[in-house]
Amino acid sequence: MVSANAIRTLYRLHQKGFRAYLVGGCVRDLLLERTPKDFDIATDATPHQIKRLFRNCRLIGRRFRLAHIHFQDEIIEVATFRKSARSFDEMDMEMTEPDARPFRHIKDESGMIIRDNVFGTPEEDALSRDFTINALFYNIADFSVIDYSTGLNDLAQRLIRPIGDPYVRFTEDPVRMLRAVRFAASHDFAIEPDTWKVLCGLSSTIARVDSSRLYEEIRKTFFFGFSGPVFNLLDKSGLLAALFPYLSLWLSKDNNRTGLLSTNLEGFDNMYRGGASPSPALFFAAFFGPSLEEEALLRKRDGIPHQMALDAACAGFMEEIRKTLNVPRRVGSQLRAILGLQHSLHRKPPRRPSSIIAKPEFSEALAYLRIITESVKENKTILEWWDNFLLGSLSAVIQEPSPAITPKRKRRRRRRGNRPKKETVNSNTTVNS
């Protein structure tokens, strides 16, 4: 189950006298007999030594230099062992001259690490990692698994346990709380009980993380087919209220709403499991759509036309959410389009369905309709109508003779200058339309 490129990279490092370990999520997943998402390698070779060994290598990263080994179909990340943040506590310093002293950990006044790029030993590297199950190494030199903490034991017990004191580790990097939730949900593991208590107590600090990093982490957390269980854990821990206060308030007003969102997210997850790759905008629609549509409805009651009410609700939402998550504006406009199209999709019978199909967000809008149909059963007939219509359009396309098979019509020769220019333009238009 290990990629051939990863094996090749490990052996090349090993043959040149360096240590070469598979590290992190791939070792965890291999031991659980799950297919790893990607393969990361750690070594005692420095980034420049790695670069000299591989022609297909690029060095990346400002915070910590990493080597990317480029293969035709994948990139293998090779990092030099780094030191534990905890062993550098005594060297903490202020952020005054970060570039003047690059090989130090820098924490802000609350204890959050804002820079750490210190090379270290394999053990220091393992202990700087977030959870015990993510700190296992596979050594290509003797095919052994190295466990510097309690990773193997915790894997057997299906436990998410931070390395070291959970309070310190979550304070150093609050993103680790989201990661704990992600692994618990995606691997069906439990978060160790004392860790869970600390996590609930620190949940509000998640909002301090940089908004671009937080958006990336939220993408990783929700977009892999486990958003239902993730939502449940975020809600229980208080992370949801810290990340999305308005959604949390909306949920608290009606007990049925949590169930409604869970069903929507299950629908979203099923799309992943079915092999589709739904867009971030569809996730935002499944997650925030019901509250936004309700808000639009309230504005509509005040006499504002439907589409304008929806525009205002979406604009307000984007402004609010971008305070914590750097959601790209493009995703905001797609979300607006998905929700905006629902009105046309629901018309019985829909007006000019072919022109609705031609809209760029049609398929995502239909996917949203499919998702919410699980909880709003009345939508079933309208969804069936669209499925039949699509089927009809598809068979019409299939029955049309393919241009490759149709014999080419012989071009009539015209004498130069015979054909007026205007006619040429018209005939082209007809062909295109």
Q: Using CB under 6 A, list all residues that contact ligand ATP.
A: 24-25, 37, 40, 129-130, 134-135, 173, 175-176
Rounded to a whole number of angstroms, the minimum distance from the CB of residue 344 to Mg ion is: 41
Q: Which is nearer to Mg ion, 38 or 266 (CB)?
A: 38
Q: For the chain, state the CA radius of gyration.
A: 27
Rounded to a whole number of angstroms, the minimum distance from the CB of residue 58 to ligand ATP is: 18
Among the listed residues 293, 222, 228, the one whose alpha carbon sits nearest the alpha carbon of residue 264: 228
CA contacts within 13 A on the Cβ side of 56: 13
- Segment near Mg ion (CB under 5 A); pick from 19-27, 201-209, 268-276, 344-352: 19-27
* Whole-number Å distance between alpha carbons of 417 and 400: 35
The strand pair at 136-139 and 20-23 is best described as: antiparallel
Please state the length of the chain. 433
Q: Which is nearer to ligand ATP, 229 or 289 (CB)?
A: 229
Q: Which residue is nearest to ligand ATP (CB)?
A: 25
129 binds, among ligand ATP, Mg ion, none (CB under 5 to 8 A by kind): ligand ATP
Cα-Cα-Cα-Cα dihedral sign, residues 119, 125, 128, 129: positive
Residue type, 326: N
Residues identified as active-site: 38, 40, 130
107 binds, among Mg ion, ligand ATP, none (CB under 5 to 8 A by kind): none
Helical pair 227-237 and 256-273, crossing angle rounded to 10 deg? 140
The footprint of Mg ion on residues 32-91 (CB under 5 A) is 38
Rounded to a whole number of angstroms, the minimum distance from the CB of residue 8 to ligand ATP is: 20
* Whole-number Å distance between alpha carbons of 343 and 390: 18
Please report where in the chains the tokens 């295109």 appear, as a residue: 432
234 binds, among Mg ion, ligand ATP, none (CB under 5 to 8 A by kind): none
52 binds, among ligand ATP, Mg ion, none (CB under 5 to 8 A by kind): none
Among the listed residues 246, 244, 224, the one whose alpha carbon sits nearest the alpha carbon of residue 234: 244
25 makes contact with Mg ion (CB under 5 A):
yes
* Whole-number Å distance between alpha carbons of 5 and 21: 14
134 binds, among ligand ATP, Mg ion, none (CB under 5 to 8 A by kind): ligand ATP
Residue type, 398: I
Furthest CA-CA distance within the chain: 90
Number of residues that bind Mg ion (CB under 5 A): 2
Q: Which is nearer to ligand ATP, 18 or 226 (CB)?
A: 226
Q: Which is nearer to ligand ATP, 122 or 332 (CB)?
A: 122
Q: Which is nearer to ligand ATP, 31 or 357 (CB)?
A: 31
Distance of CA 339 to the CA centre of its chain: 21
- Which residues make up the interface to Mg ion (CB under 5 A)? 25, 38
